[in-house]
Amino acid sequence: MIPVAKPMIGEEEKQAVLEVLDSGILAQGPRVQAFEEAFAEMCGVRYAIATSSGTTALHIALLAHGIGPGDEVITSPFTFIASANCILYVGARPVFVDIDSQTFNLNPTLLEAAITPRTKAIIPVHLYGLPCDMTLIMDIAQKYGLAVIEDACQAHGAEYMGKKVGSFGTGTFSLYPTKNITSGEGGMITTNDAELAERCRTIRQHGMRRRYYHEELGFNFRMTDVHAAIGLAQLRKLDRFTKIRQANARYLTEHLRGVVTPYVPAACTHVFHQYTIRVPNGQRDALRSYLQGCGIGSEIYYPVPIHQQRLYQELGYNGGFPEAEQAAQEVLSLPVHPALSPSELEAIVTAVNTFTEQENPIK
Ligand SMILES: *Cc1c(COP(=O)(O)O)cnc(C)c1O
């Protein structure tokens, strides 16, 4: 079976973990700090704050921006649930804006219509590793005085107009095993704002600046040194992993027939966390079963848009995001990870093209 995702753990990661275990400093020690410094450098920002997950990075970022009850935060309905749940965690209200059909990212031309006097922030999600239209989003945020918290959980190292994601607004990243690099579990917040960075650090550690003096309600959202050691070893491989993902994606796009391949705007460097095709005419699930039969894993990111999830239905959310709803019916992510061999890539192409020649989903 060719898996749709595969973490690439080598000797460097194993060695780094053993060193931490031997050092006796297991949590929030020198490896966390070294990882934060290296991550900030990768993003081209001054500060990075390591967290226990991408979800807690988002949660902290919203709190650090002072977002709470009575506030509205705009995001995409077509993303992993954490992009919206973090808004609920702080007692604010998620407001969804439909996606662009080509990029699958929040459509910035629909943003202004969703802004109200209660709007405090926008969470653009760089879905599948493709940056959002940050020029338009930053312009609108500036015009209305809104914070921008980038959900870059799938987009480590991706660039918009030569600038790294996570360096436009406040960046949030995930280091979950299926992501472009991993620390096991983990996350990162990136910012150029010294005061905001300090607030994130405080919230991460029980609202504590001075040892055992607690100024506000905080959490234990820390990263361990064991995880940081894995993350740091992985970060050193990020460029290489990304180049292989991009080469795999290029091969797939050149050879796949009968499906809609990923669109990459000229301003964007796509890091292909996922290689996501569109399979129209109701053929998506049949293609997925066919691939399964050929020993090829694939996944639907995401089968249910957030506003249609039961939790959000119970909160009173309804339809009205037709592009997100259609994408949920048509998308299929194929393996693109750096562990793929040339013969596995060829097998993926052969299987997809054999299916589409028979079924001809694009009429
Ligand atoms: C993975 C992911 C998250 C959450 O990250 P975790 O580390 O799993 O908590 C948030 N947003 C998006 C878009 C993701 O893909």
The CATH number assigned to the domain holding 218 equals 3.40.640.10
Same domain, 209 and 262: no
CA of 178, closest atom in ligand 1: 1
The residue range of the domain holding 207 is 11-235
Q: Compute CA distances 184 → 5, 176, 308, whole Å.
A: 14, 6, 30
The reply to whether 190 falls in a domain is yes
Provide the residue count of the chain: 363
**Residue from 80, 221, 230, 301 whose mutation best tests the ligand 1 pocket (most atoms within 8 A of CB):** 80
119 lines ligand 1 (CB under 6 A): no
The residue among 306 and 29 whose pLDDT is bigger is: 306
Q: Of 211, 235, 259, which marks where a domain is finished? A: 235
**Residue from 76, 126, 156, 174 whose mutation best tests the ligand 1 pocket (most atoms within 8 A of CB):** 174
Same domain, 231 and 242: no
Q: Of 180, 207, 235, which marks where a domain is finished? A: 235
% of the chain with per-residue pLDDT over 90:
95
The reply to whether 253 falls in a domain is yes
* Ligand 1: centre distance to CA 82 (Å): 6
The mean pLDDT value for 164-169 works out to 98
Query: For the segment 214-263, what is each residue's pLDDT rounded down to a tens digit?
Result: 989 999 999 999 999 999 999 999 999 999 999 999 999 999 999 999 99
Same domain, 100 and 80: yes
User: What is the residue with the minimal CA distance to atom 5 of ligand 1?
Assistant: 54
Task: Look at the pTM and tell me if it is higher than 0.95.
Answer: yes
Same domain, 160 and 244: no
The reply to whether 3 falls in a domain is no
Q: Cα separation of 93 and 76, whole Å?
A: 13
Task: For the chain, give the secondary structure using H, E and C.
Answer: CECCCCCCCCHHHHHHHHHHHHHCCCECCHHHHHHHHHHHHHHCCCEEEEECCHHHHHHHHHHHCCCCCCCEEEECCCCCCHHHHHHHHCCCEEEECCECCCCCCECHHHHHHHCCCCEEEEECECHHHCCCCHHHHHHHHHHHCCEEEEECCCCCCCEECCEECCCCCEEEEECCCCCCCCCCCCEEEEECCHHHHHHHHHHHECCEEECCEECCCCCECCCEHHHHHHHHHHHCCHHHHHHHHHHHHHHHHHHCCCCECCCCCCCEECCCCCEEEECCCCCHHHHHHHHHHCCECCECCCCCCHHHCHHHHHCCCCCCCHHHHHHHHHEEEECCCCCCCHHHHHHHHHHHHHHHHHHCCCC
The reply to whether 1 falls in a domain is no
96 pLDDT more than 70: yes
83 lines ligand 1 (CB under 6 A): yes
Lowest-pLDDT range, 47-51, 271-275, 279-283?
279-283
Q: Cβ contacts of residue 63 below 8 Å, gap of 6+?
A: 90, 199, 203
274 lines ligand 1 (CB under 6 A): no
Q: Cα separation of 172 and 195, whole Å?
A: 17
* Ligand 1: centre distance to CA 62 (Å): 15
Same domain, 277 and 351: yes
Same domain, 176 and 58: yes
Same domain, 174 and 269: no
80 lines ligand 1 (CB under 6 A): yes
Where residue 20 falls among pLDDT bands split at 50, 70, 90?
very high
CATH number at residue 291: 3.90.1150.10
Where residue 360 falls among pLDDT bands split at 50, 70, 90?
low
Q: Cα separation of 85 and 311, whole Å?
A: 10
**Which residues are catalytic, by number?**
179
Same domain, 86 and 155: yes
Same domain, 147 and 227: yes
Q: Of 181, 213, 235, which marks where a domain is finished? A: 235
331 pLDDT more than 70: yes
The reply to whether 2 falls in a domain is no
Q: Compute CA distances 80 → 102, 135, 325, 345, whole Å.
A: 18, 24, 14, 26
Same domain, 39 and 26: yes
Q: How many domains would you assign to the chain?
A: 2
**Residue from 125, 150, 154 whose mutation best tests the ligand 1 pocket (most atoms within 8 A of CB):** 154
Q: Cα separation of 204 and 26, whole Å?
A: 17
